[in-house]
Structure 1
Amino acid sequence: MNASAESHAGQSPATSGPLGADDPGAFNHCFAEVNGIRLHYVDQGQGPLVILLHGFPYLWYMWRRQIVALAGAGFRVVAPDQRGFGRSERPEDIEAYDLSQAVGDMVGLMAALGETSAVIVGHDLGAWVAQAAAMLRPDLFRALVMLNTPVPPRGKIRPTVALREMAKGRVYHHLYFQEVGKPDRELAADPRKTLRSLYYSVSGSAVGAERWRLFIEPGEPILNAFTEPKDFPAWLSARALDYYVDEYARTGFTGALNYYRCRDRNWEITAFLDGAVVRQPSMFIGGAADPALEQITGVYDQLETYMPGLRKKVLLPGVGHSAAEEGVDEVNALLLEFLKPLGR
């Protein structure tokens, strides 16, 4: 395994202000050959390692303000583009996106970094990877934080079967994404409209009919469930949105959607995790205005039952599914409150 870095001389990301943090060039970009792929990641600061895993449709960049805050507080912060996203490699096979490969990437990245212990933080699909990493390799991942998505226990029945029962004849986005090709083309037809609509509709800024509609009718395109705003809220700058749009316009959405296409496969290959719990210190941060929580409030209520090391769970008022971007100060304060007592 090997790692390489891209130098950005004369820049100081750890002390960048809000505008500086929106500049992707203000960070230390690196690449490593891990688990058979080339992985892109940002590496900032020195101290105990914290790994930040993004969700969909985001990138390493969603953590830009957490990277600045945590690196400035004495942590080494590593935020990768997960496989299939951004500047990381995008394998063609759907099976290449199952949890065993995603966790394997993090194990390989730890080795490439020369580190043997990390706190792992995951948002959305990154929370699935982070939780699996904590369960499978407690020797490496000493603590866990999940943002926005309280990952449920494995479950007794196949995920797509459970989702169809929940949808009751309608279509949930996890089911919509099972088809190969059509969703990919719909999302990629106009990446700017897609991302503006998704980011806004799942956020705490959307109200009433603007909010993400969790279910669509059979035959209805997925983007009908979202609303494109006339003006985007200030928590996502034009520069930040441009970065997301440029990256997804270049890569498309197939790599990201392949994670959803592995839902049943993940269930099949993790039978040995049935009944497993996370015993490491853990925390959950969610948004009280996150529409994604509407169908899984029961999971949030029962987090303690399969996360016996849970130290705190909180829902931030007015914050939606992009907590790291919508509630920057609150998320940063909570992360630092959780991390500092852990020591090395």
Structure 2
Amino acid sequence: MIRGETRMPGIKANGINIAYQDEGQGPALLLCHGWPELGHSWRHQVPALVAAGYRVIVPDMRGFGGTDVPDAVEDYTILHLVGDMVGLLDALKIENCTIIGHDWGAPVAWHAALMRPDRFRAVAGLAVPWSPRGPHGSLVGMARAQGLNRFYMVWFQEPGVAEADLERDPYETHRRLLVGASGAAAAAGKGWPLVIPDGKGLVETCPPVESLPDWLSEEDLQTYATAYRRTGHRGGLNWYRNLDRNWALTAPWHGAPIRVPACFIAGSLDGVLRMPGMDKALRAMEGVTCTDFRGTTLIDGAGHWVQQEAPEAVNAALIAFLQGL
């Protein structure tokens, strides 16, 4: 069980206390979750990767679960997030590892590989391909310039607005958001929209869920709801509130490729892949933005929560990548 779920002490790293799971022996793997999740999202990967001969470390990321939730918005930049992962390796006395990230954890993993190839010897991104710093500002800045003020990432920017919506009923929030971004919801045309209608919040734009899918149990849902009922959503939302700041901070790496071995895994029905520019980002990883790219695996029928919706296929793809290093 993730230590953060039982509120057990974690380890001090990069100035905060990080709750984490540490299983197995062998070459180290660091698994970074996204929003709105916890380290629990990797529950199907940990035993498979341990059985394959790896030491698997799964933190609750900054602002989530059992890990500290700093007060200031500016304490959630990409430099803090990568720094947390470097600090965690230092605290555990691990020289280097392969880093694997899903959703928001993917940009953390990609940037970790870009910025510290001495510590992160390979990288696997799930759901969100590597999209280097562009010349025209962040995704939020570009959306605003196009008048997309109800684009969900822009809607997240004002402190307190999204919190009020997401925290009203943590159980219902996770029930709708998790199922709403699944492959089955996408196939049925019931996914949640990228642009939130005027006068509404994100949760109510997601259709009610009649029954849970096989990949999401009632126990899993309660794990998320219990954690977020305690922590709220402010920490995770602050990751989005630093997108403009991240664009400024990453200027020194503008144009630099990722040089360590890399791969990408996603569900074929993931809504992220339909966002503007993602097709270009996918093509560019093939030897342009990643100089040692080992391939893309698209898992038929899976949606955004690919490692939970199709765990066996994801585990097989990850192990094949790792064994090829």
TM-score class, shorter-chain normalisation, is over 0.9
In the alignment, which residue of structure 2 is the partner of 1:68? 47
Is the alpha carbon distance of 1:30 and 1:276 closer, same or farther for their aligned partners in structure 2, counting shifts above 3 Å? farther
1:186 aligns to 2:165 (yes or no): yes
Query: Higher mean Cα deviation, 206-215 or 179-188?
Result: 206-215
In the alignment, which residue of structure 2 is the partner of 1:325? 308
Is the CA contact (8 Å cut-off) linking 1:170 and 1:218 kept in structure 2? no
1:312 aligns to 2:291 (yes or no): no
Q: Which amino acid aligns with 1:231?
A: S
TM-score, normalization: structure 1? 0.89
| Equivalent-residue separation in structure 2 for 1:34 and 1:187 (angstroms) | 29
Is the CA contact (8 Å cut-off) linking 2:121 and 2:260 kept in structure 1? yes
Q: Which amino acid aligns with 1:117?
A: N
| Equivalent-residue separation in structure 2 for 1:185 and 1:151 (angstroms) | 31
TM-score, normalization: structure 2? 0.94
Q: Aligned-pair distance for 1:333?
A: 0.4
Unpaired stretches in structure 1, ≥5 consecutive residues? 1-22
Q: Aligned-pair distance for 1:300?
A: 1.8
Is the CA contact (8 Å cut-off) linking 2:62 and 2:76 kept in structure 1? yes
| Equivalent-residue separation in structure 1 for 2:236 and 2:299 (angstroms) | 27
Is the CA contact (8 Å cut-off) linking 2:143 and 2:149 kept in structure 1? no
What is the RMSD computed on CA atoms of the aligned residues?
A: 1.7
- 1:156 pairs with one of 135, 138, 147: 135
| Equivalent-residue separation in structure 2 for 1:86 and 1:127 (angstroms) | 18
| Equivalent-residue separation in structure 1 for 2:105 and 2:64 (angstroms) | 12
In the alignment, which residue of structure 2 is the partner of 1:9? none
Q: Which amino acid aligns with 2:236?
A: A
Query: Higher mean Cα deviation, 219-228 or 316-325?
Result: 219-228
Unpaired stretches in structure 2, ≥5 consecutive residues? none
1:51-90 alignment runs, 5 A limit:
51-90=30-69
Aligned residues: 318
In the alignment, which residue of structure 2 is the partner of 1:287? 267
Specify the SS of the correspondent of 2:19. strand
In the alignment, which residue of structure 2 is the partner of 1:258? 238
In the alignment, which residue of structure 2 is the partner of 1:5? none
Q: Using the aligned pairs only, state the percent identity.
A: 39
Q: String of CA shifts for 1:112-140, please: whole Å, max 9, x gaps.
A: 11110100001111111111111111000
Q: Aligned-pair distance for 1:170?
A: 5.3
1:50 aligns to 2:29 (yes or no): yes
| Equivalent-residue separation in structure 1 for 2:304 and 2:68 (angstroms) | 26
Q: Aligned-pair distance for 1:201?
A: 0.9
In the alignment, which residue of structure 2 is the partner of 1:215? 195
Is the CA contact (8 Å cut-off) linking 1:85 and 1:251 kept in structure 2? yes
Q: String of CA shifts for 1:250-269, please: whole Å, max 9, x gaps.
A: 11000000000000000011
Q: Which amino acid aligns with 2:131?
A: P
In the alignment, which residue of structure 2 is the partner of 1:200? 179
Is the CA contact (8 Å cut-off) linking 1:191 and 1:249 kept in structure 2? yes
Q: Which amino acid aligns with 2:301?
A: G
| Equivalent-residue separation in structure 2 for 1:91 and 1:170 (angstroms) | 27
- 1:95 pairs with one of 74, 77, 91: 74
| Equivalent-residue separation in structure 1 for 2:210 and 2:303 (angstroms) | 19
Q: String of CA shifts for 1:122-163, please: whole Å, max 9, x gaps.
A: 111111111111111100000000000113110112212212
- 1:267 pairs with one of 247, 258, 264: 247
Q: String of CA shifts for 1:169-204, please: whole Å, max 9, x gaps.
A: 452111111010010111000011110111011101
Q: Aligned-pair distance for 1:225?
A: 3.1
Is the alpha carbon distance of 1:247 and 1:220 closer, same or farther for their aligned partners in structure 2, counting shifts above 3 Å? same
| Equivalent-residue separation in structure 1 for 2:93 and 2:291 (angstroms) | 30
| Equivalent-residue separation in structure 1 for 2:239 and 2:182 (angstroms) | 22
